[in-house]
Amino acid sequence: MTQTDIALLLADAADEVEIGIAPVQAVIRGGRRRRARRWAVATTTALVLAGSTGATLAVTGLPGDTDRHAPVASQPSTPEARHVYVPQVTQLARGTDHGTAWRVVVSVWGAPRDRSEAATQLAAMRKYGIEPAVLPDGRQLVGKTSHYSGLYYGGNPFRTIMFDTVKKWEPLSGTDLMSGAVPLDKADSNRPERLVVGTVALTARQVRCGWKDGTSTLVEPQAVAGSPVEWFACTAPAGTAYQSAEVIQ
């Protein structure tokens, strides 16, 4: 009896009893009847691979693999490795406005595991110029990832544009888009909103920002460290302001 025959017999027997995680090799060879379970295992493997940056990963149970005791990559354990106290920061855009340099950055903060880590993270956020709307001990941050997009304009303090603290990021797909628009130079509600920052699905390739003077700007979204969505930033020419933003491809 071949390995394929044995795998099929085991797969048929599995219909009659409750079992744990199926061996990957048997699932792959189990044919169309095991398609749902095969995809579940494949997805789990993909997630492990995606989260194992800089680590050596051994996946057991794949075709031709006989080492069932090989180590599996573990998740980072220390706050530093999880970016709890020092965020992952990505520069999204930069430029000069009337001789003043500006830049837009996105910071992604890892989830604290307890109140002690949350309190230390809150103190670190305040040093970055971020003031979350949480209790003094930061307990609402426990188990949640935070992201902040904001503007540095000249020597002015960091100005938040889009932010959220969540247990799980909201999925985006197709032409989904979330954005915020603010004045570029000063935090004044009477000034034109010339800076637009937003998030799109990973599949989005181009975003069009429309301005009130009828013109538009095309930008390509970019990856942000620690973020499962892509980000974009647009700036309106002097004399006009934000009107719309949309994924066009």
pLDDT tens across 123-140, in order? Answer: 999 998 998 888 888 999
pLDDT given for residue 133 in this prediction: 83
Highest mean pLDDT among 24-28, 38-42, 182-186, 239-243: 239-243
Is residue 46 very low, low, confident or very high in pLDDT (cuts 50, 70, 90)? very low
**What is the distance between the terminal CA atoms of the chain, rounded to a whole angstrom?**
52
pLDDT given for residue 63 in this prediction: 33
CB atoms within 10 A of CB 19: 11
Strand, coil or helix: what is 81? coil
pTM above 0.85, yes or no: no
CA 233/CA 104 separation, integer angstroms: 8
Token pair, residue 176, equals 């989904």
Amino acid letter at 22?
Answer: A
Strand, coil or helix: what is 173? coil
pLDDT digits (tens, 9 = 90+) for 127-179: 989 988 888 889 999 999 999 999 999 999 999 999 999 999 988 999 999 99
pLDDT digits (tens, 9 = 90+) for 53-86: 333 222 223 333 334 444 545 667 899 999 999 9
Residue with tokens 């993909």: 46
Domain positions in the chain are 1-75, 88-247
Count Cα atoms within 13 angstroms, Cβ side, for 161: 31
